[in-house]
Structure 1
Amino acid sequence: MPQSALSTDGALVLFSGGQDSTACLAWALARYDRVETVGFDYGQRHIVEMTARQDVRGAVSARFPDWAARLGEDHVLDIRGFGAVAESALTADRAIEMTERGLPSTFVPGRNLVFLTYAAALADRRGLKALVGGMCETDFSGYPDCRRDTLDALETALNLGMDRDFRIETPLMRLTKAQTWALAKGLGGETLVELTVADSHTCYRGERGARHAWGHGCGECPACDLRAAGWSAWVAEGRPALTA
């Protein structure tokens, strides 16, 4: 998108430092003239993502000068009290397995609803209209708060409750993980792909030891499984680029 076509509404990206939020950050930087990021410390076991998100931001600024000029402040919100209430395998030393509800034990009830409510309050004060998140209901773990109908309902509630006109943007909602890799290439070429592999973090166990073709992680948790399968499918397709 040429700079003259950039939206002046401004965007706040829910930025964990993972593969999906890295793609969303690039997507927003290609569309908005001002982009800020917000991360959440909710007592997650994979707290290493809080370091990864700074590494990704730094790498994006260094390697994409046009985007660096649009990348604004980063915000980190402490909501560990919520994490304690909504205990799961992401916030406590519990096995990652399927529960009797048919959901992974990594499900944190209402997490995206809380994230977006805090993000909307911050966006209100920062004068930003777009809330950008990496929620997806194509290749995902089945979390109900990742579904677009959930986010449509929340968008309505936030706008009624804050008397604003926020838009919850979910550029990955209908994409497979293979298509997310393709989107990254379409947005930032092989540079963004390599940056995502090297610096982003998705593993639920917080492991940064071994580097696989798709990045760092334990290679066994649901997040690693999704990321690895998406990479393999994308490579099998010839590593195409997806036009943003």
Structure 2
Amino acid sequence: MNDGDAIVLFSGGQDSTTCLAWALDRFERVETVGFDYRQRHHVELDVRPVVLEAIREQFPHWAGRLADDHLIDLAVLGQVSETSLTRDVEIEMQENGLPNTFVPGRNLLFMTFAAAIAYRRGAKHIVTGVCETDFSGYPDCRDDTMKALQLTLNLGMDTRFVVHTPLMWIDKADTWHLAHQLGGDALVDLVREETHTCYQGDRSLHDWGRGCGKCPACELRAHGYQRFIAKSATCADIGHD
């Protein structure tokens, strides 16, 4: 197992793109994996290669570290999921207190397949963009879940994976800030102009990025960007004093 190799769960969205940059800044060789589970916002799968190519072109110091990309067909997940991300139904809260955008078992499956690839490729590190701060209540995004998965995967595959969650304790404004720390304005612009988070699959361009501007994912991203811009302006003003 190579301590310098990592597998990044990469959807083509803001969080996973930021995590990819985080991994490229730390590890010698980084592979990516995405999942086609017949998601409603299927356009994110079209965005993935565009973002990867842009990273290679715009960040030459990372290009040599960015290796193979894997796309896994998980159609079965869509077949067993009655959610607003796998069916054309209105996004709403459920009686159990979770939004119907929650796809039961999704991150558990994602992490298992990512670990299987890591095992085959000899990579020690697995990086995912789950977060407890802006996680919409999804139980499979919690820190406890990730720690339990790391233990389970290591026991089940008799190895020593390390699961990294760079966004676990930060909000969307801080995620924008992290992207800026890692890649400056160029990475922030790439996230804005190319990545996809919108549940509706809308690619309309706003100052905060592409999306419908109304779904929970867009609202979270937009509010985070506004706080990031406001904080950046405040810091700039202080720096000029």
Aligned to 2:239: none
**Corresponding residue for residue 4 of structure 1:** none
Counting aligned pairs with the same residue, the percent is 59
Question: Where in structure 1 are there 5+ consecutive unaligned residues?
Answer: 1-6
SS in 2 for 1:9: strand
Which 4+ runs in 1 deviate beyond 6 A?
Answer: none
Aligned counterparts of 1:235 and 1:195: Cα–Cα separation in 2: 16
Contact 1:202/1:217 (8 A) holds in 2 = yes
The residue number in structure 2 matching 1:228 is: 222
| Aligned equivalent of 1:216 | 210
Output the CA distance in 1 between the equivalents of 2:156 and 2:100: 32
Amino acid at match of 2:224: G
What pairs with 1:76-91 in structure 2 (closer than 5 Å)?
A: 76-91=71-86
Per the alignment, residue 185 of structure 1 pairs with: 180
From 201, 211, 222, the equivalent of 1:206 is 201
Paired residue for 1:106?
Answer: 101
- Residue in 2 that maps onto 1:66: 61
Could you report, residue by residue, the CA deviation over 1:96-145 in whole angstroms, capped at 9, with x for unpaired residues?
00010111110000111110001101110011111100000002211000
Structure 2 stretches lacking a partner, 5+ long: 237-241
| Normalised TM-score (structure 2) | 0.95
Partner residue of 1:238? 232
- CA shift at 1:33, angstroms? 0.3
Query: 2:166 corresponds to which residue?
Result: 171
CA distances 1:144-167 after superposition (whole Å, capped 9, x unpaired): 000000110111000000001011
Q: Distance in 2 between matches of 1:233 and 1:140?
A: 18
Deviation of the 1:94 alpha carbon: 1.0
* d(CA) in 2 for partners of 1:125, 1:9: 15
Q: Partner of 2:123: helix, strand, or coil? A: coil
Q: Shift of residue 225 of structure 1? A: 0.8
1:123 matched to 2:118? The reply is yes
Counterpart secondary structure, 2:4: coil
Q: Deviations over 1:204-240 (max 9, x none)?
A: 01011x2111111000111101100100111111266
TM-score (normalised: structure 1): 0.94
Structure 2: distance between partners of 1:9 and 1:166: 12
Q: Which residue of 2 aligns with 1:155?
A: 150
CA contact (8 A) 2:9 2:16 kept: yes
Q: How does 1:16-55 map to 2 (within 5 A)?
A: 16-55=11-50
Checking the alignment, whether the CA contact within 8 Å between 2:3 and 2:125 is kept in structure 1 is no
Separation in structure 1 between the aligned mates of residue 161 and residue 146 of structure 2, nearest angstrom: 12
Q: Counterparts of 1:30 and 1:238 in 2: how far apart (Å)? A: 22
2:232 is paired with a residue whose SS is coil
CA contact (8 A) 2:3 2:124 kept: no
Q: What count of residue pairs does the alignment treat as equivalent?
A: 234
Supply the distance in 2 between the matched residues of 1:163 and 1:139 (Cα, whole angstroms).
Answer: 33
**Shift of residue 84, structure 1, vs aligned partner:** 1.1
Query: What does residue 3 of structure 1 align with?
Result: none
Whether the aligned pair in 2 keeps the contact of 1:140 and 1:226 (CA below 8 Å) is: no
